[in-house]
Amino acid sequence: MIRKCLFPAAGYGTRFLPATKSMPKEMMPIVNKPLIEYGVEEALEAGLSQICIVTGRGKRALADHFDTNYELEHQIAGSSKEAMLNDIRHLISSCTFSYIRQQEMKGLGHAILTGEPLIGDEAFAVVLADDLCINTDDGVLSQMVKLYRQFRCSIVAIQEVPANETHKYGVIEGEMIKDDIFRIKSMVEKPAPEDAPSNMAIIGRYILTPDIFDIIRNTEPGKGGEIQLTDALLQQAKDGCVLAYKFRGKRFDCGSVDGYIEATNYCYENLYSP
């Protein structure tokens, strides 16, 4: 079954400059926990304990976060502050972490292809940590892993967005095969509202079958000169089947300042306990 979760985390995070000049966007905290930690928690909850992270220059803080900090831990040992490390210690002891560096930031498709040596020939999940997903029962990845068991093909998570926001997303055209499950017929990357085939936008959770690597290898750079995952997924949908799943739960676009503030307020009010 699915054991691995890939986190493409090599992007520059330009929408958050200057904060992201020397700090990875994925380390930005929502209240007191970095974005990537929420993502790893979601993966572990779905049973994926092999965490594979695509990093880049200036991203060493990511690897340090999922490691012991002897000096600090010695300093606070036995104090009330030690409990603040419970969650991260649990992740560190429950998961394995491997890293690979993307040397040129040539897009999400390229970042996923960069992760191939860590994934190999098996289906895997992808989490874009700047999309924070929260649900009170099953997490979004758990919901998708269950669906994968049934359908055994690539699955993308989708959300309905207002027409004036389609230009921020890959947008699908699908045929409904069951409640909240669509078979993808077509997909467009960041369409203007008048060109969007629907208002159903792909967000940062995927289950991918490993044939996606060969498809990405043969995908020409698309919009913005980047190798787009959307283009590869469209090919995969044409060759076989890709499903789109309207998930249960909330999703915050923490790659944008507005979404980040919204997520911070939500988590402070609903999840944070000092």
Residues that bind ligand UTP (CB under 6 A): 8-15, 25, 54, 102, 105-108, 110-111, 128, 130, 255
Alpha carbon distance 78, 209 (integer Å): 46
**172 Cβ contact partners less than 8 Å away, ≥ 6 residues apart:** 156, 158, 182, 184, 185, 186, 187, 197, 198, 200, 201, 202, 244
Q: Is the CB of residue 209 less than 8 Å from the CB of residue 153?
A: yes
Please, what is the minimum distance in Å from the beta carbon of residue 205 to ligand UTP?
A: 12
Query: Which residues make beta-bridge pairs with 100?
Result: 54
Q: For residues 84 and 261, which CB has a smaller minimum distance to ligand UTP in the complex?
A: 261
Please, what is the minimum distance in Å from the beta carbon of residue 136 to ligand UTP?
A: 25
Q: Apex CA 150: angle with CA 147 and CA 151, to 5°? A: 85
Best CA proximity match to 34, nearest among 267, 270, 274: 267
Best CA proximity match to 101, nearest among 24, 208, 205: 24
Q: For residues 13 and 222, which CB has a smaller minimum distance to ligand UTP in the complex?
A: 13
Q: For residues 15 and 183, which CB has a smaller minimum distance to ligand UTP in the complex?
A: 15
The DSSP line for 157-182 is EEEE--GGGGGGSEEEEEEEEETTEE
Alpha carbon distance 240, 229 (integer Å): 16
Q: For residues 13 and 191, which CB has a smaller minimum distance to ligand UTP in the complex?
A: 13
Q: For residues 12 and 151, which CB has a smaller minimum distance to ligand UTP in the complex?
A: 12
> What is the helix (H) or strand (E) element at residue 202, kind and residue range?
strand 200-208
Please, what is the minimum distance in Å from the beta carbon of residue 47 to ligand UTP?
A: 22
Please, what is the minimum distance in Å from the beta carbon of residue 238 to ligand UTP?
A: 24
Please, what is the minimum distance in Å from the beta carbon of residue 183 to ligand UTP?
A: 25
Q: For residues 106 and 250, which CB has a smaller minimum distance to ligand UTP in the complex?
A: 106
Best CA proximity match to 23, nearest among 12, 37, 32, 38: 12
Please, what is the minimum distance in Å from the beta carbon of residue 85 to ligand UTP?
A: 25
Please, what is the minimum distance in Å from the beta carbon of residue 225 to ligand UTP?
A: 11
Q: For residues 59 and 88, which CB has a smaller minimum distance to ligand UTP in the complex?
A: 59
